[in-house]
Amino acid sequence: MLELLDLRDRRERLEPRRLEIDPSVSEAVRGIVERVRAEGDAALVALTRRFDGVDLSEGGLLVSLDEFERAEQATPPDLRAALDSLIERLTEFHARQLPQPWTDVTAGVRFGEIVRPVRSAGCYVPGGRAVYPSSVAMTVVPAVVAGVEEIVVCSPPRADGTLPDAVAYAALKAGATSVVKVGGAQAIAALAYGVQSVPAVDRIVGPGNVYVTEAKRQVAGTVGIDGLAGPTELVIVADASADPALLAVDLVSQAEHDPDASTTLVTTDRALLDSTAPFLESEVAQAARREVVEASLAKSRAVVVLDEDQAAEVVNDLAPEHLEVLIPNARAFVEKVRNAGAIFLGEWTAVPFGDYGVASNHVLPTAGTARFASGLRAADFVTISSVTEMDQSAVERFAPETAAIAKAESFAGHARAMEFRAERQP
């Protein structure tokens, strides 16, 4: 069921699956973005009717207070309690991530950094195959922790023109200031440029389909974005000590996300693949989303390596969104890992715990971008400005050398501004 790749006798560098957008998608998204910029709310209503089959002309684009109240009442008490706990865990987790302002004085120069939250943020929450209240919490909570004043959630509506109850409830409890019943590229365009019902924001975060991802790419620069999300990924590193039944469960758990979800099982023990096969067949046969699981596993592979050092090389080459380590010395192995979005150690630590806010955010870098990107953090919602204040003695000390560099770069005006101060009497 998994494609086999044996690297024990050769050193082959594996390439992560890159995010590639079909040109027809790019062209379609460009048209959507331009239409939203030109027509505002009217475009959102028309595009929602076209793509989602929902008419928002009477009910409006925004979730009303009455809708929030109905959603809270309709969300089962046990789910409300679970979402409340998720929000609490994420709040504690993200509170540790904020950079702190600082200041110092050296040689007549007072210098430091100030930290300020962005004014507004947009949080995209996908719909379609499933309902994702967890993604509401994952995107809204770090913004709240950072102190963002205006937090707008966008998510596709149901057929009746409302949001799923759990999504609306999570947005209310997590701290969103407004919730828009619009999805797709049109939602990203509204957040980036602003329309009558949706304010323009400074940063857009959250995963979505290929149209959402392409829209984020097109508006990046006008607003900040968290990254371009591709299909979800998992690399599992295991040896002969791993439980084959556990491996099968985790492979199916990852595969049920999406037909394009990918898993790579990296092992030093070739026999582990044979012992896992019957358990995997059994898990697939009883999977609730069997067709999705089978399609995903058809794109997944097993990689046999010589030792843990080579296993770490494979991990760093793939730079996976999720890394699960099922070997006795898991903590030591992680010291060799440079590239991974979120890491889960030991047989008790299932990746879905992180998906639901146990010490992790599930908005993570995909498509090999963990080489240079990190998961969504509270720090992503702040900006940092350097602050410098010099006295006369500092000017007299630094002006000769800094002016010399300016002149070498043919910036006589720069040199003049510094030398003028050095010569100036108080």
CATH number of the CATH domain containing 243: 3.40.50.1980
d(CA 93, CA 359) in angstroms, rounded, equals 6
Q: Is 321 a catalytic residue?
A: yes
Indicate whether 14 belongs to any domain. Answer: no
Half-sphere exposure of residue 5: CA atoms within 13 angstroms, side-chain side: 17
Residues 218 and 276 in one domain: no
- The pLDDT score that the predictor gives to residue 128 is 72
Q: How many CB atoms are located within 10 Å of the residue 91 CB?
A: 18
d(CA 108, CA 389) in angstroms, rounded, equals 8
Residues 142 and 88 in one domain: yes
**What's the Cα-to-Cα distance from 81 to each of 145, 286, 338, 360, rounded to whole Å?**
20, 29, 37, 19
d(CA 393, CA 97) in angstroms, rounded, equals 37
Where residue 228 falls (left for φ over 0; alpha for ψ -120 to 50; beta otherwise) is beta
pTM over 0.75: yes
Indicate whether 69 belongs to any domain. Answer: yes
Nearest Cα neighbor of 181 from 201, 203, 159, 200 is 159
DSSP letter (8 states) at residue 326: E
Q: What is the 3-state secondary structure (H, E, C) of 238-253?
A: ECCCCCHHHHHHHHHH
Residues 171 and 314 in one domain: no
Indicate whether 217 belongs to any domain. Answer: yes
Q: Given 94, 257, 322, 362, which residue is catalytic?
A: 322
Mean confidence (pLDDT) of the chain: 96
Residues 56 and 145 in one domain: yes
End-of-domain residue from the set 159, 190, 225: 225
- Parent domain of 366: 230-374
The domain total for the chain is: 3
End-of-domain residue from the set 180, 195, 225: 225
Indicate whether 383 belongs to any domain. Answer: no
Residues 266 and 282 in one domain: yes
31: Cβ contacts below 8 Å, ≥ 6 apart: none
Angle, CA of 153, 158 and 159, to the nearest 5°: 150
Residues 209 and 316 in one domain: no
> What's the residue count for the chain?
426
Angle, CA of 280, 285 and 288, to the nearest 5°: 110
Residues 139 and 166 in one domain: yes
148: Cβ contacts below 8 Å, ≥ 6 apart: 117, 118, 119, 120, 121, 381
d(CA 23, CA 181) in angstroms, rounded, equals 28
- The pLDDT score that the predictor gives to residue 19 is 86
Residues 158 and 42 in one domain: yes
Indicate whether 141 belongs to any domain. Answer: yes
End-of-domain residue from the set 225, 240, 270: 225
**What's the Cα-to-Cα distance from 370 to each of 334, 412, 418, rounded to whole Å?**
15, 43, 42
Indicate whether 4 belongs to any domain. Answer: no
Q: Do 179 and 168 form a contact (C-beta atoms < 8 A)? A: yes
Class of residue 330 by CB neighbours under 10 A (exposed 0-12, middle 13-18, buried 19+): middle
Q: Given 321, 324, 362, 419, which residue is catalytic?
A: 321
Q: Is 3 a catalytic residue?
A: no
Residues 145 and 204 in one domain: yes
- The pLDDT score that the predictor gives to residue 129 is 67
Indicate whether 279 belongs to any domain. Answer: yes
d(CA 28, CA 21) in angstroms, rounded, equals 11
d(CA 203, CA 383) in angstroms, rounded, equals 11
Please give the helix or strand (H or E) that residue 349 lies within, else none. none
- The pLDDT score that the predictor gives to residue 130 is 82
Residues of the chain with pLDDT under 50: none
Indicate whether 2 belongs to any domain. Answer: no
Residues 237 and 358 in one domain: yes
Residues 336 and 262 in one domain: yes
Q: In what order do the strands lie in the sheet with 150-154?
A: 178-180, 150-154, 120-124, 203-205, 224-225
Residues 138 and 270 in one domain: no
Phi/psi for 39 (5° steps) reads: -110, -15
